[in-house]
Amino acid sequence: MLNKGNMKRSHGAIIFMLCILTGVIFYIGSRFFSVAVTHSVDHVNLEQRAQNLYENQDQESVKRGQIYDSIGNVLAENSSVYTAIIVLQKDQPKYLKNSQVNTVSKELAQELGGDASYYKKIIKNGIKHHYFQVQFGSNGVNISQEKYRTIKKKNIPGLIFEAHPARLYPNGQFASDLIGEASSSGSNKIKGVSGIEGSWNKQLTEQSGVSANNIKNGNLSQKTKNVEAKNGYDIYTTLNTKLQSTLEDKMNALQADMQPKQAFAAIVDTKTGDIVAETQRPTYNATTKSGFGNFWSNLLVQEPYEPGSVLKGITLASAIDTNNWNGDNTYSSGKIQVDDKVVKDWNNGDGWGRISYTDGIALSSNVAMVLTEQKMGSKTWGKYLDRFQFLKPTDMGFSSETSGSMNFRYPIEQANTAFGQGIKVTPAQMIQAYSAIAGNGEEIKPNIISKIVDPNTQKVIYSAKRTKVAKPIKESTAKATRKELENVIYNPKGLGAMYAIPNVKTTGKSGTAQISTSAGYTQPGDNTNEIHSWMGMAPSDNPRYMMYIVVKEPQSNTDNISKDMSNVFVSTMEQALQMNTSDKKAVISDKQQTKIPAVKNESMKKAKSEIEANHLKPEVIGDGKVVKNQYPLGGGKTLLNQRVFIVSGGNVKVPNMQGWSKKDVKNWGRLVDIKINSSGEGFLVEQSVLPDTRIADGIHEITVKFKTP
């Protein structure tokens, strides 16, 4: 028999256990009730979590837009970089064993750089703390595809790779300040940080596609959101690859010889404003990243400077336009007093005695420009600086473009601006201003973007046009200014004889500017503390191209300034002026295939030129001015010399189809909605409707005959 004490203790224990069990059941029941009613656990919305899961599962793969030269050669494209990882977890198919640590550390050091001890320390620490895997900081990231393939072939124990999207710049050092740089910054999203990559990042950026489903009450069939995946827009620059390569080589030679703190050069199509080649120093190699850590900015639009005597061409044009210039008149060179200041000619104020104003331009006399500014009057001169659009951004599209600055309150400041001191400009502003002198008096905006194409639809959504921003001078003034500036090169007293292009009449203006410091301007003649420049145009009577070169503070071999700068100018301008059709064609792949350009919405003239530049035959349908449709669509590749049909609407005529393939004839018929009755195989030898017959005259079908050669 159990005694009464034991019985009481047993009953108490049973009651206690029942109370605990009841509490647990009550808690679990209340949690189930709460989840059923609120669809949440610990403030986490389970329905939303599941919804996000379904959304993430349906994301589509898209890519950033690519950057090309003017006719489709790739300047920036999508690629991948890799991160090296060593797996330590033993239950993985490929992991690093303790016995392999020393060997693998040496192999990693050999392939990724650094000491084997560095890798060994990281691996041993990972093993000690039971890490799943380890990485190696900057040594093991941003591994190129070529390096990745090389390492992967070695089958290093435990080594795996993680791919990340990246940007590839196949030409290396190639207008790097313009093309810019894009970075994934450790994420899977590439973002532009400079140049076109940064300023046009919005257009280049892709849009991920998502198909999201409503899973409320267990129903997975109802879609609540569907975002279409879109590739980023492709951007075509105005650059000519062959001319750009030449300019890079010539500027490298200048840089190596003179070691300037900064240098800039650009060649511009005077008829369109297109920048066909441009580079600067310092720059960087976008492929190897060599030089990317150095301080640099986009000199074209971000670094205003005092242009010096190159601005005298603008003073000259303003004076001619206001009838305040007579080149045959004479003046006393050397020095001139303005209030309590003295302005000197560049030869320490010695001058050249009494000379003509034409000789003054040839000799780059400051005194001649001060007298010219005084004849015009400061008010008129100030208006012309405004008419030429100085102190205003060019709005080329780059972010952070500066406007420049000017001191213009006192007579000495007004006089200084006449020879390019006391006013700060950007190369883009100078190029834009001189476009009025190079052309018919109309000032046109510089272009660096030729067109923007939506690769999702193959439509051209933006096509650059010649953009007039002002007409500061008359056409007759522009011609007279160019003629007067010829004296800089061809006058026996001129300072620019070395800039003459053989067999091509050339015109332009050289410039030297002292550097403004807190203690005043540097002394004339100290070439290492001066800005040297040249603005040249050719042919002089009707310029086709214009080139601007700026060299800031050369630190060595300063006796070679004119020699080195003229070498850049003459050689690249000769190439530009002699460019023929083959110079403007795309580089063909090894398989002799070429890219089909997207020309929908472009002008017919520009579309034809671009198709021909890609080694294809444009076949125009209609007499309209704008491309409404094309076949094949742009973006793909095809064999050389194939036909690309471009439809413009308007009056459509039957072409002469002799020698056409059956495929081309059928495509033409489909595009113009004409029935093609054909017999035979091979190439067309007969057509029932004469060439140049209007479709609108009642043509509904054409009978054709093909024959095999």
Could you give the CA distance from residue 140 to residue 82 in angstroms, rounded to a whole number? 8
Cα 548 to Cα 300: distance, rounded to the nearest angstrom: 11
Q: Which of 442-456, 508-522, 538-552 has the lowest mean pLDDT?
A: 508-522
List alpha helices for 58-100, DSSP H: none
Tens-place pLDDT, residues 570-606: 999 999 999 866 567 777 665 678 889 999 999 999 9
What was the pLDDT predicted at 61?
A: 65
State if pTM tops 0.85.
Answer: no
Facing residues of 211 across strands?
Answer: 226
What residues does 460 pair with on adjacent strands?
A: 453
Of 61 and 142, the structure prediction assigns the larger pLDDT to 142
Give the span between the Cα atoms of 700 and 673, in whole angstroms. 8
Three-class SS of residue 270?
coil
Strands 191-192 and 222-227: unpaired
| Pure H helices in 206-296 | 241-258
Q: Does 56 score more than 90 pLDDT? A: no
pLDDT digits (tens, 9 = 90+) for 391-442: 999 999 998 899 999 999 999 999 999 999 999 999 999 999 999 999 999 9
Distance CA 585, CA 640 (A): 12
What pLDDT score was predicted for residue 47? 46
- The reported pLDDT for the residue numbered 32 is 54
Residue 145: how many CB atoms within 10 A of its CB? 14
Q: Which two tokens stand for residue 269?
A: 């199509």
User: Two tokens at 426?
Assistant: 């950007």
Domain ranges across the chain: 243-582, 593-707
DSSP 607: H
**Sequence-ordered alpha helix ranges (H) in 322-410:** 357-362, 366-376, 378-387
pLDDT at residue 44 is higher than 50: no
Higher per-residue pLDDT: 54 or 31: 31
Instruction: Judge contact between 602 and 627, C-beta under 8 A.
Output: yes
Of the given ranges (64-68, 139-143, 177-181, 488-492), which has the lowest mean pLDDT?
139-143
Mean pLDDT value of segment 268-274: 97
Given a cut of 60, whether residue 156 has pLDDT beyond it is yes
User: Does CATH number 3.40.710.10 belong to domain 243-582?
Assistant: yes
Q: How many whole angstroms separate alpha carbon 548 and alpha carbon 543?
A: 14
Active-site residue identified among 309, 450, 463, 566 = 309
562 carries an active-site annotation: no
Closest by CA to 330, choosing from 368, 369, 284, 287, is 368
Inter-residue contact 312 to 364 (CB < 8 Å): yes
pLDDT over 70 for what percent of the chain?
A: 86
pLDDT the model gives residue 519: 65
CB of 430 within 8 A of CB of 310? yes
The interaxial angle of helices 411-418 and 366-376, nearest 10 deg, is 120
Q: Evaluate if residue 60 carries a pLDDT over 60.
A: no
Own/partner contacts of 659-662, CB < 8 Å, gap of 24 or more, are: 659/683, 659/684, 660/684, 662/706
Pairwise CA distance, residues 407 & 103, whole Å: 69
Query: Can you tell me the mean pLDDT for 343-354?
Result: 95
CB of 361 within 8 A of CB of 487? yes
What does 193-224 look like in DSSP terms, one character per residue?
-SHHHHHTHHHH--B-BEEEEE-GGG---EEE
Model confidence band, residue 229 (pLDDT cutoffs 50, 70, 90): confident
Burial zone of 323 (CB within 10 Å; 0-12 exposed, 13-18 middle, 19+ buried) = exposed
The mean-pLDDT minimum among 218-232, 237-251, 517-531, 585-599 falls in 218-232
Over the stretch 698-708, which tens digit does the pLDDT of each residue have? 999 999 999 98
Mean model confidence pLDDT for the chain: 88
Distance CA 375, CA 519 (A): 31
pLDDT tens readout for residues 19-33:
666 665 666 566 555
SS3 of the chain: helix, strand, coil, percent, to 5: 35, 25, 35
CA-to-CA dists, residue 610 to 170, 257, 600, angstroms: 22, 38, 12
Q: Which helix (H) or strand (E) holds 354?
A: strand 354-356
Average pLDDT over residues 244-264: 96
Q: From the CB of residue 230, how many other CB atoms can be counted at a distance below 10 Å?
A: 17
Q: At what angle do helices 116-128 and 101-112 cross, to 10 degrees?
A: 130
Alpha-carbon gap, residue 218 to 51, rounded angstroms: 11
d(CA 621, CA 642): 16
Report the alpha-carbon angle 103-107-113, nearest 5.
Answer: 135
What residues form DSSP beta bridges with 550? 264, 533
- Residue 45 pLDDT level (bands cut at 50, 70, 90): very low
CA distance to 23, 143, 149, per residue, from 110 (Å): 64, 14, 15
Domain 593-707 in CATH 3.20.20.70: no
Contacting residues for 153 by C-beta, under 8 A, at least 6 apart: none
What is the structure's pLDDT at 58?
40
Question: Position of tokens 């300047």?
Answer: 75
